[in-house]
Structures are given as C-alpha cells and as structure tokens.
Structure 1
Amino acid sequence: MESLHPRVRLLWTGRTALSGLVLVALAVAADRLFVPVPMEFVVAGWVVLAALGAVHAVLAQRIWRFELQDDALFLVRGVVTRTDTSVPYVRVQHVDTTRGPVERTAGLASVVVYTAGSRGADITIPGLRPERATELRERLRDLAGESEATDAV
C-alpha cells in the first residue's frame, strides 16, 4: 500500500491553524462589540487548536494509504473513525488531478476519482508529488477503461 507524501501534514496543520485564526477574529469582534473576552484565553485556545491540528495531521498522514488492486482502488483513512473504501474500476467515471495554490506552494497535488453513484460519489487522494499524481491519474483511467471493456452488464 502506498502512503501520502509527508508534506501533506503541513497543509493539514496550516488549514487547522487558519481555521483557528477565524475563531480568534470572531473572539476579537465579540470582545469589541459585545462582551469582554480575555485575549490570553483566546491565544491559548488557538495554540491548543493548532497543536491538536498538528497531531491530527501527523496521525492522518501515517494512516492514509491507497492501493491499486486487481479490480478496485482500495483506500484506508481516518484517525478517529477508520474508513476502508474499495472503489471498483468499473464505477470510475473520470479522474482529475488538482493543484490549488497552497498545494503548488508545497509541491503537492491531489487525484480526484469521480464514481458512479450518489453517496460519496468522488474520492480525493491528497498529498501526492505532481508526477505521482499524473501517473496515478493515467493508470486509473486505463484501469477504468479496461474494466469497462470487460464488464458483462
């Protein structure tokens, strides 16, 4: 099974820290407009949130795995609730690679697998080197095409 690039931890930790800054901004606004809020508690809360986010990011990156099996893409992910997902290639509609500005800065990319069905109709594999994301996208596209040709519906 293949794991994600360790740099994905920086993205996930940064996302949590940014979310925490939004909460800090709300606390500052509440302090100015409604009720006094001790800024020491706000800063301490942000530090705790950022630290928990970093721990969660490390654990999530260690757990996140994927594998191209004979007939399906298999994924394992989740820190608190572990999720094992098997996506049959015959259900794959199309596959994209994405690189947002933050991912580009970190030198990473994601692969998005769109599947037939309504619940959880797409799967994202984050934290890949761009070359690996392109290879994976092409391989998944080929496997989906091969499975479609052999599908006996």
Structure 2
Amino acid sequence: MESLNPRVRLAWLLGAFVPGAIIVGVGVVAVRIGAPVPLAAAVGVATLVVALGLVAAVYRYRVWRFEVRDDSLYIVRGVFTRVDTSVPYVRVQHVDTRRGPLERTLGLASVVVYTAGSRGADITIPGLTPTRAGELRERLRELATESEFDAV
C-alpha cells in the first residue's frame, strides 16, 4: 500500500494550531470584556488542544494508506476510529486534483474522488506531490471509464 508524502505531516501539524489560536483569542476577548475567565485557563486549554492535535497528526500519518486495486480504490485511515474504504471504480463519477494555499506552499496536492451515492460520498487522498496527484487522477479516471464500459 502507498503512503502519503511526509510533508503532509507539516500541514496537519500547522492545522493543529488553529483551534488553539481560536481558544486563546476567545480568552483574550473574554478578559477584555470583563468576563471572569482567567487568561491562563484559556492558554492552558489551548495548549492541551494543540498537544492533542500534534499527537493525532503524527498517528494520522502513520495510519493513512491507499492502494489502486484492479476493481477498486482501497483506503485505510483514522486515528481513533480506523476506517477501511473500498471505492468500486464503477461508482466513480469524476476525479479532481486540489491544491489549497497551504498545499501549494508545501508542494503538495490532493486527489478528490466523487462517487455516486449519497451527498458527501467524496473521498479525498491528501498529501501527494502534484505529479503523483496528476498521475493518480488520470489512472483513476481511466479505471472508472473502463469499468463503465465493462458494466454495460
């Protein structure tokens, strides 16, 4: 099974700081408006949230794997709840690559697989190099097209 590019860990680690910054910001605002909330409590909670986010990012990288099989895309992910997903190519509607600002800065891209079915049935494979993401997108598109013709 294929793992993600190691640089995705940095994106996930940076993402762990966002909730902590929000908590500290709320604590500062609360102190400014005179609420009886000590700023030290907000900083303590923020530190705990960031620490848990950092640990989760490390474990998330260790678990995340995917494999392009003959009949489906297979993905294993999840820190607390392990999720094994098998996406049959016949269910694939279309495939995109996505590069947000942080991904572009880190030289990464994601592949998004849109599937037939319920709303929110999209699968995202993060942490790929742009070249690998393009190759994977095209390979999945080819496999989806082939399976469409096989199903008819």
TM-score category (smaller protein): over 0.9
**Partners of 2:56 and 2:147 in 1: how far apart?**
36
The answer for unaligned runs of 5 or more in structure 1 is none
The alpha carbon displacement at 1:55 in A equals 0.8
* TM-score scaled by length of structure 2: 0.95
For residue 31 of structure 2, what is the aligned residue in structure 1? Answer: 31
For residue 140 of structure 2, what is the aligned residue in structure 1? Answer: 140
For residue 104 of structure 1, what is the aligned residue in structure 2? Answer: 104
The alpha carbon displacement at 1:119 in A equals 5.1
Kindly indicate whether residue 105 of structure 2 is the aligned counterpart of residue 115 of structure 1. Answer: no
SS at match of 2:36: coil
Q: Give the aligned residue type for 1:132.
A: R
**Contact (CA 8 Å) 1:63, 1:78: kept in 2 or not?**
yes
**Contact (CA 8 Å) 2:23, 2:45: kept in 1 or not?**
no
Q: Give the aligned residue type for 1:124.
A: T
Q: Percent identity?
A: 63
For residue 69 of structure 1, what is the aligned residue in structure 2? Answer: 69
**Contact (CA 8 Å) 1:64, 1:76: kept in 2 or not?**
yes
Q: Give the aligned residue type for 1:35.
A: A
Superposed CA deviations along residues 93-127 of structure 1, whole A, max 9, x for unmatched, are 00000001011011110000000000542100001
The alpha carbon displacement at 1:149 in A equals 0.7
Q: Give the aligned residue type for 2:93.
A: Q
* TM-score scaled by length of structure 1: 0.94
SS at match of 2:76: strand
Superposed CA deviations along residues 118-146 of structure 1, whole A, max 9, x for unmatched, are 05421000011111101100000000011
Please give the root-mean-square deviation of Cα atoms over the aligned residues, in Å. Answer: 1.2
**Partners of 1:96 and 1:35 in 2: how far apart?**
47
**Contact (CA 8 Å) 1:92, 1:115: kept in 2 or not?**
yes
SS at match of 1:80: coil
Superposed CA deviations along residues 47-90 of structure 1, whole A, max 9, x for unmatched, are 22212111100100110010011100000000000001000000
**Contact (CA 8 Å) 2:90, 2:151: kept in 1 or not?**
yes
**Contact (CA 8 Å) 2:19, 2:49: kept in 1 or not?**
no
The answer for unaligned runs of 5 or more in structure 2 is none
**Contact (CA 8 Å) 1:110, 1:128: kept in 2 or not?**
yes
For residue 52 of structure 1, what is the aligned residue in structure 2? Answer: 52
